[in-house]
Structure 1
């Protein structure tokens, strides 16, 4: 069963992280992808270009590199990249994460036997050493639980998903929604009664740590989160009391000291 892998990279990424991510989806996998689409979101560093050139020499026509002249952001980069994916099944992967060796094998087998549009899984979080896991980001397994969970938190680990391209196109693909591009896509698909499932197993090791925490704290993130919640209310995914409760709790969390936010994240992952 053929499938594509979709990745976006921009200039702040480290070449060693990208190299490890690509290695994990090619050299390490028990079932290899039929195509890898890498979107270069704007001008990259020389080190990243060298890494990409090495993989082009290795993978040849299986490795499609889409070079954008300027940085357009994750939503637009993935939207453009998805148009280049040849196959109905598309796996997402971040440019600094590590897919576990049997990830694609498990997801492909699940799509063969179940009628779903999106299949994700749990992720293991690490800081610098992928063998030193400090937390697990678990998500609800079954569709009804996923939809219920989505009222308050993102129910899908984006770097772990495999989805049907036609289903994503049916809701107009990724849209600009800073920090919440994937979450909004899932909501749009849920509102069209598309089916979701999360495996209990860890499918991806995710590079998290202090950098991720810093991105998810402070006034700018709080404002973007409020706009996102307002959009969910406007499209009638959230009821008014759900919108108010979400906005109040999440704004309070975002402006807390980062040490407290880190502790809250760890509690949520226990």
Structure 2
């Protein structure tokens, strides 16, 4: 039986915005089904402003926050690997430190996990720039399990911030890994799907995901392309991708990576996303 007891898992590093961190944590703390634990991984030494925010919230919510800390920045894969191990509850809700969850996110996801016996559940997200009212696009992700399986052979079938999953299922698939920079989430999702985890994306967007010019710039250039090639080649070698899957996934990504950022941004916002309802 799916319990309502869940841990929120976040990773924070030195360059995070303290005010965005506040907004993100607030959005999870006021959930209609509130968390039993907030696990925050300090990925290396933090700024004084970030430490002050975390200290403030820890004092405001005694016993709720569980901090994992180490002195050197190790990257997202390592941070989340350690964070999963630190979570004390059977359900883990991922959240990024610059995004905002709708108040009903966890109520809806936990209900879906019970109703459909899911191991992992995501949702559509609304992407915004700057203020919450500046909504740019909404994702168009597959929603049913069979569609998710097919989609995972081409593109990432989930957005990372709204994913909620069973801790045991994550561990059974090998937990987060540091092997694939920029693709830590897709790597885990594919491994979970490959061992039979049942999945779904909810139709309603449950997280507002902050994007800006840097968001699209990070998805371009030779360095990013090299990491994409390495990740997708590994999917081919382990049998999750066929050769056809690899070619149909990597070739268009290579083209997009090598575009100027302005064109890449236009492509993402106008062709790879939907416009939000007015």
Whether the TM-score (by the shorter chain) exceeds 0.5 is yes
- Output the CA distance in 1 between the equivalents of 2:246 and 2:122: 26
Return 5+ residue gaps in structure 1 as ranges.
Answer: none
* Cα contact 2:76–2:184 (8 A) shared by 1: yes
1:32 corresponds to which of 6, 10, 34: 34
2:226 corresponds to which of 223, 228, 249: 223
TM-score (norm. length: structure 2): 0.95
Q: 1:138 deviation in Å?
A: 2.4
Return 5+ residue gaps in structure 2 as ranges.
Answer: none
**1:192 match:** 195
Q: How does 1:95-174 map to 2 (within 5 A)?
A: 95-174=97-176
SS in 1 for 2:62: helix
- Output the CA distance in 2 between the equivalents of 1:154 and 1:240: 17
Q: How many residues end up aligned between the 2 structures?
A: 269
Q: How does 1:236-251 map to 2 (within 5 A)?
A: 236-251=239-254
RMSD over aligned Cα atoms:
0.9
Q: 1:245 deviation in Å?
A: 2.9
Tell me whether 1:83 sits opposite 2:85 in the alignment: yes
Cα offsets for 1:155-197 (capped at 9, x unmatched): 0111001100000000110011100001011111111111110
1:12 corresponds to which of 11, 15, 39: 15
- Output the CA distance in 2 between the equivalents of 1:257 and 1:39: 34
Q: 1:264 deviation in Å?
A: 1.3
TM-score (norm. length: structure 1): 0.98
SS in 1 for 2:63: helix
SS in 1 for 2:15: coil
Cα offsets for 1:97-123 (capped at 9, x unmatched): 000011011011112222111000010
Q: 1:69 deviation in Å?
A: 1.3
SS in 2 for 1:44: coil
- Output the CA distance in 2 between the equivalents of 1:189 and 1:31: 26
* Cα contact 2:154–2:248 (8 A) shared by 1: no
SS in 1 for 2:68: strand
